Amino acid sequence: MRPFPSEFRLRDLAAITGEVCELKRNPYIREANESSEAWFKSIGAYHGKTLQRFFSHRFDLFAELSFPDADEQHLETCIDFFFWAFSFDDLSDEGELQDKPEEHEIGVKLCTSILFDSAPKRTGFPYARMLDHVWRQLKHAATPGACDRFAKSAIEFFNGQLQQGNNRKLNRMPTIEEFIPMRRATIGCGMVEAMIEYSLDIVLPDYVFEHPTIRAMSDATNDLMTWPNKEQADGDYSNLVFIVMEEKDLGLQDAIDYVINMLSDRVDEYIALKKSLPSFGPEVDRELARYLKALEHFVQGTVVWYYSPRYFRNIDISDRTELLIPVFENSA
């Protein structure tokens, strides 16, 4: 891999996805977030400065932008989901299990038990208890199809994390072709889609989600969410920019521009897919339109949230037209 420069230029990613995805805010965020933060504190996964740092990542803003039409109760569960997913992800990305895939696998088995065992094991593992809470809310209010999709995607999420951990342990960088589906899994895109269904009490037949056009649209929106994301400063180079640098033998700036062009092309592909949507009948079409609008809200909310302090340290992002970003030193 070529040496890093001291800085790089970044175009406004939100302007690219904003061609098709609308940004909107949820008015119930303050009340919902207060309840969710109190719940997360009661779990006891984080304490002191670690807890403060976790909350500083502004998951409330993420939920506010990503679930703008959810009512307060549904929004609270969506924030709870974020707290579980990001804390569990951080456990393998930068936490105590980063270099311990065997112990991570034990945690995965406990979480899997929550989703699939008729009588899951009681455990003090806080991440399994958080998942149990979210899963109960979903089973109470979401459709059986949404619950099934959540559970299946959770397994992909767990397996993707384990694979990523093994790659890290072996110091192996995947190819672009390998990375794209793996990243969809490790970021939990299928779980997100199920949470979108839950957030608005959307009811769609399973055959809609199995249609090739809908599946292709799902892949496209997942890529729009995942390609721009992944930190460098933690010493983890398992992200698309660095994979492009390695595979295409490009410098950092050229690789970033390459990925941004991929992102722009993916927006065009999504627009073309949306135009080619078949009709499933008037009632289903109306519900599908609600779902796709909510999915687009989530994409745009995600991309805008990527400009939060979780990813941009002490950088003025008031004008995102073309940011000049310093290359952070490895904090690992």
Q: Where are the beta strands (DSSP E) in the chain?
A: 7-11, 322-326
Decide if 9 is inside a domain. no
Decide if 282 is inside a domain. yes
Decide if 110 is inside a domain. yes
Enumerate the β-bridge partners of residue 11. Answer: 322
Query: What's the predicted TM-score (pTM) here?
Result: 0.91
Confidence (pLDDT) at 234: 46
* pLDDT at 137 > cutoff 80: yes
Decide if 54 is inside a domain. yes
- Whether the CB-CB separation of 85 and 191 falls below 8 Å is answered with yes
Decide if 196 is inside a domain. yes
CATH code of the domain covering residue 156: 1.10.600.10
* pLDDT at 332 > cutoff 90: no
H-type helices in 200-251, by residue range? 206-210, 212-226, 240-248
Dihedral pair phi/psi, residue 88, rounded to 5°: -70, -40
Q: What is the mean pLDDT of the chain?
A: 89
Decide if 15 is inside a domain. no
Confidence (pLDDT) at 120: 67
Region 239-244: mean pLDDT is 90
pLDDT tens column, 165-202: 777 777 778 899 998 988 888 888 999 999 999 999 99
Q: Per the structure, how many domains does the chain have? A: 1
Decide if 77 is inside a domain. yes
Least confident of 34-38, 106-110, 297-301, 316-320: 316-320
- Residue 312 and residue 130: Cα distance in Å, rounded? 28
Percent pLDDT > 90 in the chain is: 66
H-type helices in 170-323, by residue range? 176-186, 189-199, 206-210, 212-226, 240-248, 252-275, 282-305
pLDDT tens column, 44-97: 999 999 999 999 999 999 999 999 999 999 999 999 999 999 999 887 665 455
In the chain, what is the straight-line distance between the N-terminal and C-terminal CA atoms, in Å?
19
Decide if 6 is inside a domain. no
- Whether the CB-CB separation of 301 and 62 falls below 8 Å is answered with yes
Residue 227's domain spans which residues? 22-314
